[in-house]
Amino acid sequence: MSFKNQIDQFILEIGLINRVSVSLMILDWQAIDTVLLDMDGTLLDLHFDSYFWLEFLPTRYAQVHALEPSEAKQWLHERIKQEQGRLSWYCLDYWTEELGLPVAALKHEVAEKIGFRPNVPSFLKALKTSHKRSVIVTNAHPDSLNLKLERTGLASMVDAVISSHEFKVPKEDQAFWHALQEREPFSLREPC
């Protein structure tokens, strides 16, 4: 299968765009030298994170703070929403302090749920084979990132991994992209 076909197949399977969009989209892969990739929900499925934040952590919080599980779940979900869009939303140190629980350590208890989305290893191999630089750009906290990299071997499949925590701003903030541009120069071109 050609590089372009492998890329198109991957894009379809992860649901980034539908088949109609792929047939209309023409990317000049010869002109692309670096591919910036999100990790959670793009390369790795969200089962681990969803389970941890929506089920496992609220249960532990309820146990430690003597709350009904439904009460803890509702409170925690509302509390997490308050941080959305901020680096603190992704920061395990922040949540450890806020919740009085060792959040990074708790993630290890359910690490078996970490897994790739379909065809990711072959997609990353196709990028390497075609001499495209691949860079994971994630909001994941370094402890969570390291756990995921250890469980999947993902770091060996890409050229670089960058966490927004290194820049102290989330990807949602334009300051992140300016800092990334300095560290990992990329050009912004209009789509073909």
Counting the structural domains of the chain, the total is 2
In a domain, 192, yes or no: no
Residue 175 in any domain: the answer is: yes
Nearest residue to 124 via CA among 49, 187, 35: 35
41 and 23 in a common domain: yes
Q: What is the CATH number of the domain that holds 149?
A: 3.40.50.1000
Instruction: Please name the residues in contact with 7: beta carbons below 8 A apart, sequence gap of 6 or more.
Output: 27, 29, 123, 126
Determine, yes or no, domain membership for 190.
no
What is the per-residue pLDDT across 70-113, written as a single tens digit (0 to 9) for each? 999 999 999 999 999 999 999 999 999 999 999 999 999 999 99
Strand partners, 35: 134
Q: Convert the pLDDT of each residue in 136-170 to its tens digit.
A: 999 999 999 999 999 999 999 999 999 999 999 99
Among the candidates 112, 145, 161, a domain finishes at: 112
**What predicted TM-score, i.e. pTM, was given to this entire model?**
0.84
| Same domain as 17, residue 66 | no
